[in-house]
């Protein structure tokens, strides 16, 4: 169906004369150029004329042109060349939604809605639309529309009576009085949950102009409504293959993080029934990466992370993070990467990235100058920003860049990243939980050294994790037998699944084999678990006095273990207790945090502290985590310091220091480590001949 121009104009004028749009246009007439867009809800067009609404998607350029004219007719005072009012249609219907990977030649010139995460934005720059020139002889004004890359000048003076009506005159440009609009280039990428089977996200460039430029920033989850256009790859080689880009008409921001997950009434009934199952916690743990054997402790922690604690805004505006951060440190080949990949798939908004990622933005964000910006600065979002309101799975965290190292603290605690560079001044949100994996310092845990000493991450960073899980891989006959049997059965079940249905193999009972390995099937399907998690986020449980008592006792108890000298645990860990217990309550869809939830949290925290900060005698020393130096080590440092105070002016060789220190019970390797710490800290100098002196 096609429409005459007059018919199109008629539909628009009916829509625009309704109260809603009359008021809007009146407001624009009064406040131009502060306000310069009529925002038309697609639903209103649809209500007015269904067939026309469909036609608008097919022939947007023509329809919008006429709409613009209709609006301009209503505001006669806006008439200078280049001054105009935009018509921005938003809230496009489902059938206008196209995934980036499905954009085809058919969509060129059509109005489409493309969802994605904003990965890159350039700085906003003005573009000249109409340039004003004055004739050097008669001073008459000449407006020239600017379309290309280079400034177009008038060819001749247009004053009909002037003596200058010939080409000999000169023109003086008046850029200040010319018409400009703001422009910005953005790049969106497909949402992670749209991706199946680990494929790479596809990207699309969009041009955002005028009053909507600068509205979106990296990490936003948006729907760009716009007209798909083609652009030639380069000016030089005229080719028939074109790049596509979106000429953005309007931007819809996503309202709720779990909107993508639709929960029907039937789902709701099922979810509530699930929540009453006494085996809920176990069932959820069994639904997390069933093909990975064991790791119950880790899966428990990850299950709680999935539900998360509650984000809180206090009376004074302070924000308290609800997201739980977990660090897995372990020997190679213990399925760290595998569980991260699984979780990035399972969790809504899950992103998997490696610490040594090649992108300029790295894990957080960066301002870069690259091809994308055509010489402009570009703000690029890294993994944590893209995982906003989701789960960031960061593998090989120990291999991250120095830039990430310095920006990660802010990202994890305050959940935002500030970028201030080259005119870009942005604060990006990264309200995500982080599940990170790292290898120990020398690639594999060494039993003789304390676990803490083998974490090759800055102490302030480590202390921001709510839980740190240690995974060691020591030969153990029973465990090895179970693990190998599990892995082999996984493979066998996989083979049987791939076989054509009803296939029979002599000597093998395939049906029985599937039955025997049914433990590899998640108790709750991924789909179901996702819905359950999404539903649980509606609940904000509140601490009960019993739960508070348990957490307080555990906290105060552990603080006491430091013996008054070292501080075994800090308030940061106390917040961790709260987050974990809230997650545990949420998992049951309970609006109260009970003693059971507090115990779940205490068990996990005491368990990890024992492994990582235990002094081997039942006492903990969290100072190892927050400063990197345990109280025992601190004593060692003091011993070396006093030796150096005595001999520091003449200087001592390492062996000599060791000799002095051995009287006080320090071994050679302990001395070596302590001297190195002091040297690294700038307290000691080392001469080229190996003599240490006080700094």
Q: How far is the CB of 341 from ligand ADP (least distance, A)?
A: 8
All residues at 6 or more sequence positions from 580 whose CB lies less than 8 Å from its CB, including other chains: 304, 309, 324, 466, 467, 600, 601, 604, 605
Given a contact cutoff of 8 angstroms between Cβ atoms, the answer to whether 256 and 142 are in contact is no
**Is the Cβ of residue 435 or residue 671 nearer to ligand ADP in the bound state?**
435
**Residue 335 binding: pick among ligand ADP, Mg ion, none (C-beta 5-8 Å cut-off by kind):** ligand ADP
Kindly write down the DSSP assignment for every residue of 143-176, as one continuous string. EEE--SSS----SS---SSSTT-STT--EEE-TT
**Is the Cβ of residue 214 or residue 333 nearer to ligand ADP in the bound state?**
333
**Is the Cβ of residue 87 or residue 295 nearer to ligand ADP in the bound state?**
295
Q: How far is the CB of 525 from ligand ADP (least distance, A)?
A: 20
Among 210, 199, 283, 288, residue whose Cα is nearest residue 249: 210
**Residue 81 binding: pick among ligand ADP, Mg ion, none (C-beta 5-8 Å cut-off by kind):** none
**Residue 673 binding: pick among Mg ion, ligand ADP, none (C-beta 5-8 Å cut-off by kind):** none
**Residue 524 binding: pick among ligand ADP, Mg ion, none (C-beta 5-8 Å cut-off by kind):** none
Say if strands 433-438 and 326-330 run parallel, antiparallel, or are unpaired: parallel
Q: How far is the CB of 435 from Mg ion (least distance, A)?
A: 13
Of 61-69, 80-88, 336-344, 359-367, the window that binds Mg ion (rule: CB under 5 A) is 336-344
* Residue-wise burial string across 64-93, b where 16 or more C-beta atoms lie within 10 A, e elsewhere: bebbbebbeebbeebeeebbbbbbbbbbbe
DSSP H or E run through 11: helix 5-16
Of 31-39, 156-164, 231-239, 333-341, the window that binds Mg ion (rule: CB under 5 A) is 333-341
Distance from C-alpha of 617 to C-alpha of 597, rounded to nearest angstrom? 28
**Is the Cβ of residue 328 or residue 666 nearer to ligand ADP in the bound state?**
328
**Residue 338 binding: pick among Mg ion, ligand ADP, none (C-beta 5-8 Å cut-off by kind):** ligand ADP
**Residue 33 binding: pick among Mg ion, ligand ADP, none (C-beta 5-8 Å cut-off by kind):** none
**Residue 294 binding: pick among ligand ADP, Mg ion, none (C-beta 5-8 Å cut-off by kind):** ligand ADP
Site residues, ligand ADP (CB under 6 A): 292-295, 330, 332-338, 483, 486-487
Distance from C-alpha of 149 to C-alpha of 161, rounded to nearest angstrom? 33
Tokens for 348, please give them: 């809504």
**Is the Cβ of residue 491 or residue 667 nearer to ligand ADP in the bound state?**
491
**Is the Cβ of residue 331 or residue 453 nearer to ligand ADP in the bound state?**
331
Q: How far is the CB of 468 from ligand ADP (least distance, A)?
A: 15
Specify which residues 227 forms β-bridges with: 111, 247
Of 22-30, 335-343, 456-464, 646-654, the window that binds Mg ion (rule: CB under 5 A) is 335-343
Residue number of the CB atom closest to Mg ion: 337
Of 30-38, 109-117, 217-225, 334-342, the window that binds Mg ion (rule: CB under 5 A) is 334-342
By CB under 5 A, is residue 337 in contact with Mg ion?
yes
* φ/ψ (deg, to 5) at 469: -105, 130
Distance from C-alpha of 66 to C-alpha of 68, rounded to nearest angstrom? 5
**Is the Cβ of residue 83 or residue 337 nearer to Mg ion in the bound state?**
337
Distance from C-alpha of 470 to C-alpha of 156, rounded to nearest angstrom? 79
**Is the Cβ of residue 336 or residue 636 nearer to ligand ADP in the bound state?**
336
**Is the Cβ of residue 322 or residue 355 nearer to ligand ADP in the bound state?**
355
Q: How far is the CB of 352 from Mg ion (least distance, A)?
A: 11
Q: How far is the CB of 396 from Mg ion (least distance, A)?
A: 7
| Residues that contact Mg ion, how many (by CB under 5 A) | 1
* Residue-wise burial string across 310-335, b where 16 or more C-beta atoms lie within 10 A, e elsewhere: beeeeeeeeeebbbbbbbbbbbeebb
**Is the Cβ of residue 337 or residue 401 nearer to Mg ion in the bound state?**
337
Among 241, 207, 211, 212, residue whose Cα is nearest residue 226: 207
Among 463, 487, 416, residue whose Cα is nearest residue 573: 463
Distance from C-alpha of 227 to C-alpha of 249, rounded to nearest angstrom? 7
**Is the Cβ of residue 145 or residue 480 nearer to ligand ADP in the bound state?**
480
Rounded (10°) CA dihedral 86, 91, 93, 97: 80
Q: How far is the CB of 603 from ligand ADP (least distance, A)?
A: 22
* φ/ψ (deg, to 5) at 651: 95, 155
**Residue 483 binding: pick among ligand ADP, Mg ion, none (C-beta 5-8 Å cut-off by kind):** ligand ADP
Q: How far is the CB of 336 from Mg ion (least distance, A)?
A: 5
By CB under 5 A, is residue 159 in contact with Mg ion?
no
Q: How far is the CB of 473 from Mg ion (least distance, A)?
A: 12
Q: Residues 417 to 456: which contact Mg ion by CB under 5 A?
A: none
Given a contact cutoff of 8 angstroms between Cβ atoms, the answer to whether 692 and 651 are in contact is yes
CB-side neighbour CA atoms (13 Å) of 320: 14
CB atoms within 10 A of CB 659: 14
**Residue 293 binding: pick among Mg ion, ligand ADP, none (C-beta 5-8 Å cut-off by kind):** ligand ADP
By CB under 5 A, is residue 490 in contact with Mg ion?
no
Q: How far is the CB of 188 from Mg ion (least distance, A)?
A: 30
**Is the Cβ of residue 380 or residue 396 nearer to Mg ion in the bound state?**
396
Tokens for 658, please give them: 């060791």
Helices and strands, counts by H and E, the chain: 22, 26
**Residue 349 binding: pick among ligand ADP, Mg ion, none (C-beta 5-8 Å cut-off by kind):** none
* φ/ψ (deg, to 5) at 109: 80, 0
Given a contact cutoff of 8 angstroms between Cβ atoms, the answer to whether 386 and 221 are in contact is no
Q: How far is the CB of 238 from ligand ADP (least distance, A)?
A: 49
**Is the Cβ of residue 83 or residue 338 nearer to ligand ADP in the bound state?**
338
**Is the Cβ of residue 138 or residue 487 nearer to ligand ADP in the bound state?**
487
**Residue 292 binding: pick among ligand ADP, Mg ion, none (C-beta 5-8 Å cut-off by kind):** ligand ADP
Distance from C-alpha of 43 to C-alpha of 93, rounded to nearest angstrom? 8
Q: How far is the CB of 395 from Mg ion (least distance, A)?
A: 6
Distance from C-alpha of 333 to C-alpha of 487, rounded to nearest angstrom? 13
Q: How far is the CB of 408 from ligand ADP (least distance, A)?
A: 20
Of 265-273, 337-345, 369-377, 490-498, the window that binds Mg ion (rule: CB under 5 A) is 337-345
**Is the Cβ of residue 340 or residue 529 nearer to ligand ADP in the bound state?**
340
Q: How far is the CB of 295 from ligand ADP (least distance, A)?
A: 6
Percent helix, strand, coil in the chain (nearest 5)? 40, 20, 35
Quote the radius of gyration of the chain (alpha carbons, Å).
Answer: 32
Q: How far is the CB of 437 from Mg ion (least distance, A)?
A: 6
Q: How far is the CA of 34 from the CAs of 24, 28, 182, 212, in angstroms?
A: 13, 8, 13, 12
Given a contact cutoff of 8 angstroms between Cβ atoms, the answer to whether 634 and 669 are in contact is no
Residues that bind Mg ion (CB under 5 A): 337
């Amino acid at each position: 169906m096609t429409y005459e121009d007059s018919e199109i104009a008629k539909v628009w004028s009916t829509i625009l004369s309704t109260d809603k749009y009359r008021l809007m246009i009146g407001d624009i007439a009064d406040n131009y150029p502060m306000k310069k867009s009529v925002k038309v809800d697609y639903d209103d067009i649809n209500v007015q004329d269904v067939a026309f609404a469909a036609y608008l998607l097919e022939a947007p350029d023509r329809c919008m042109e006429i709409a613009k004219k209709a609006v301009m007719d209503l505001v006669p005072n806006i008439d200078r060349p280049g001054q105009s009012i935009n018509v921005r249609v938003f809230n496009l219907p489902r059938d206008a939604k196209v995934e980036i990977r499905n954009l085809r030649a058919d969509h060129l010139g059509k109005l489409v809605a493309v969802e994605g995460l904003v990965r890159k934005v350039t700085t906003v720059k003005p573009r000249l639309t109409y340039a004003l020139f004055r004739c050097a002889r008669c001073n008459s004004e000449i407006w020239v529309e600017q379309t290309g890359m280079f400034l177009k000048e008038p060819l001749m003076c247009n004053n009909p009576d002037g003596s200058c009506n010939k080409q000999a005159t000169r023109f003086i440009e008046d850029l200040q009085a010319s018409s400009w609009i703001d422009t910005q280039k953005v790049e969106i990428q497909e949402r992670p949950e749209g991706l199946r089977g680990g494929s790479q996200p596809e990207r699309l460039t969009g041009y955002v102009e005028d009053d909507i430029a600068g509205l979106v920033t990296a990490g936003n989850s948006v729907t760009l409504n716009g007209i798909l256009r083609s652009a030639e790859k380069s000016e030089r080689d005229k080719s028939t293959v074109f790049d596509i880009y979106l000429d953005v008409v309007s931007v819809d921001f996503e309202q709720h993080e779990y909107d993508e997950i639709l929960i029907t009434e039937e789902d709701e009934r099922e979810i509530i029934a699930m929540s009453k199952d006494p085996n809920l916690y176990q069932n959820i743990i069994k639904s997390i990466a069933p093909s990975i054997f064991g790791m119950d402790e880790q899966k428990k922690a990850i299950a709680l992370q999935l539900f998360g604690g509650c984000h809180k805004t206090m009376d004074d505006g302070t924000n308290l993070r609800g997201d739980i951060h977990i660090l897995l440190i372990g020997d190679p080949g213990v399925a760290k990467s595998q569980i991260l990949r699984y979780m990035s798939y399972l969790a809504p908004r899950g992103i998997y990235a490696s610490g040594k990622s090649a992108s300029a933005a790295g894990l957080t964000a960066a301002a870069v100058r690259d091809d994308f910006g055509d010489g402009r600065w570009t703000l690029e979002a890294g993994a944590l920003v893209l995982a906003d309101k989701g789960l960031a799975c960061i593998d090989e965290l120990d291999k991250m860049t120095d830039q990430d190292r310095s920006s990660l603290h802010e990202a994890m605690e305050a959940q935002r990243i500030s970028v201030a560079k080259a005119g870009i001044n942005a604060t990006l949100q990264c309200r995500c939980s982080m599940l990170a994996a790292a290898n120990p310092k020398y690639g594999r845990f060494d039993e003789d050294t304390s676990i803490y000493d083998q974490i090759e991450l800055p102490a302030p960073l480590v202390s921001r994790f709510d839980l740190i899980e240690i995974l060691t891989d020591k030969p153990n006959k029973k465990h090895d037998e179970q693990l190998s049997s599990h892995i082999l059965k996984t493979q066998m079940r996989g083979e049987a699944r791939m076989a054509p249905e009803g296939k029979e193999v002599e000597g093998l009972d395939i049906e029985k084999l599937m039955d025997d390995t049914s433990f590899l099937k998640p108790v709750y399907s991924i789909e179901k678990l996702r819905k359950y998690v999404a539903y649980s986020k509606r609940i904000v449980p509140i601490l009960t006095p019993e739960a508070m008592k348990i957490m307080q006792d555990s906290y105060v108890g552990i603080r006491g273990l430091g013996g008054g000298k070292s501080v075994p645990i800090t308030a940061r860990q106390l917040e961790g207790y709260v987050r974990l217990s809230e997650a545990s309550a949420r998992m049951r869809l309970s609006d109260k945090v009970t003693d059971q939830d507090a115990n779940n949290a205490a068990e996990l925290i005491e368990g990890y502290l024992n492994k990582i900060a235990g002094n081997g005698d039942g006492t903990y020393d969290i100072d190892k985590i927050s400063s990197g130096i345990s109280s025992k080590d601190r004593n060692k440092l003091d011993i070396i310091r006093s030796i150096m105070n005595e001999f520091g002016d003449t200087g001592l060789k390492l062996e000599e220091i060791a000799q002095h220190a051995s009287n006080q019970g320090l071994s050679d390797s302990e001395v070596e480590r302590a001297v190195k710490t002091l040297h690294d800290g700038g307290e000691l100098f080392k001469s080229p001949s190996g003599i240490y002196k006080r700094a």
